[in-house]
Amino acid sequence: MIIERTDKEVIIRLQPSVNIEELQELANFFRYKEITSKYKTPQDEVDKLASDVNKNWYKKNRDDLLK
């Protein structure tokens, strides 16, 4: 693996044998970090929002899950 930093980007070079699905998950995580790096929301607010989203998702999908 080789990591390079230029003025405009960071480039990561990997062997072609790397699992593409796992690589996509890492890319999604890096994108998330990139997008959220500018926000200074307290962790307790993030946790509350995540909890609310999970509760609402479960309420919406409960019947399908219990089949």
**This model's pTM is above 0.85:** no
| CA within 13 Å, CB half, 34 | 8
What is the CA angle 16-22-12, rounded to 5?
55
Chain-wide mean pLDDT for the chain? 91
Query: Is residue 61's pLDDT more than 90?
Result: no
